[in-house]
Chain A
Amino acid sequence: NAGVTQTPKFRVLKTGQSMTLLCAQDMNHEYMYWYRQDPGMGLRLIHYSVGEGTTAKGEVPDGYNVSRLKKQNFLLGLESAAPSQTSVYFCASSPRGPIYGYTFGSGTRLTVV
């Protein structure tokens, strides 16, 4: 039982490059989330999804796009990376919302130079 898997684990991008982070869960969870974690600022919600084909903005959505074409996958895209997007990105999933608790992936450490 893999739980929540994030790929890649590490990535270095040049300013202006694009990339996609993949989050996959095998627990048949409806809800999925993307957070970023920065020193001194805690985890902040970027985007989330309450089911296949749905997405919604969180607290810090600018510069990111997401897609949930399949229930098990939640993709986070950076169209034109900026140094301010250097962070650790975490994906989480939940059966049907936070009332059931979250399961987190192990994170992607992204550096934009």
Chain B
Amino acid sequence: KQEVTQIPAALSVPEGENLVLNCSFTDSAIYNLQWFRQDPGKGLTSLLLIQSSQREQTSGRLNASLDKSSGRSTLYIAASQPGDSATYLCAVTTSGTYKYIFGTGTRLKVLA
């Protein structure tokens, strides 16, 4: 059974710092991995989608990497801003299934 873990559960950093969020999964037979952002009381916004054949994806100040063999993905946020404060969730879909399995998220607070 696929399990997805995100550590740490919460993180506070000063504005301007570069930071890394971690996601690990137990079954390496994945189709893809997606990173989402969730603002308080809001829905999920897709940030980056990495297919199993890819090593990384970039969008602006965000870079997500994928290492299938070790069951890990990282989301790198450069030059963090207070507007980056949110909960970040990763989700994986395993080969042969129709669904994403989600981690419980990392709650990020960027202090001005």
- Majority SS of interface residues in chain B? strand
Chain B residues in 8 Å Cβ range of A103: 46
Q: Which candidate, B59-67, B69-77, B97-105, is the interface stretch facing chain A?
A: B97-105
Please tell me if B10 contacts chain A, counting CB pairs below 8 Å: no
Residue in B44, B91, B98 whose beta carbon sits within 8 Å of that of A31 in the complex:
B98
Scan residues 72-112 of chain B and give those whose CB is less than 8 A from a CB of chain A. 89, 91, 93, 97-100, 102-105
A99 near B42 with CB under 8 A, answer no
B32 near A98 with CB under 8 A, answer yes
Chain A residues in 8 Å Cβ range of B93: 97-99
B43 near A106 with CB under 8 A, answer yes
Chain B residues in 8 Å Cβ range of A48: 98-99
Q: A48-B99, A105-B43, A106-B43 are in contact. Are A40 and B104 (CB under 8 A)?
A: yes
- Binary per-residue interface labels of chain A (59-98) against chain B in the complex, 1 for a CB within 8 Å, 0 otherwise: 0000000000000000000000000000000101000011
Please tell me if A2 contacts chain B, counting CB pairs below 8 Å: no
Q: Which of A33, A48, A101, A104 has the most CB of B within 10 A?
A: A101
Please tell me if B28 contacts chain A, counting CB pairs below 8 Å: no
Scan residues 1-54 of chain B and give those whose CB is less than 8 A from a CB of chain A. 4, 31-32, 34, 36, 41-46, 49, 51
17 A-B pairs in the complex with CB atoms less than 8 angstroms apart: A33-B99, A35-B102, A40-B104, A41-B104, A42-B102, A42-B105, A45-B99, A48-B98, A50-B98, A98-B31, A98-B34, A98-B100, A99-B93, A101-B34, A104-B36, A105-B43, A107-B42
Which B residues contact A (CB, under 8 angstroms)? 4, 31-32, 34, 36, 41-46, 49, 51, 89, 91, 93, 97-100, 102-105
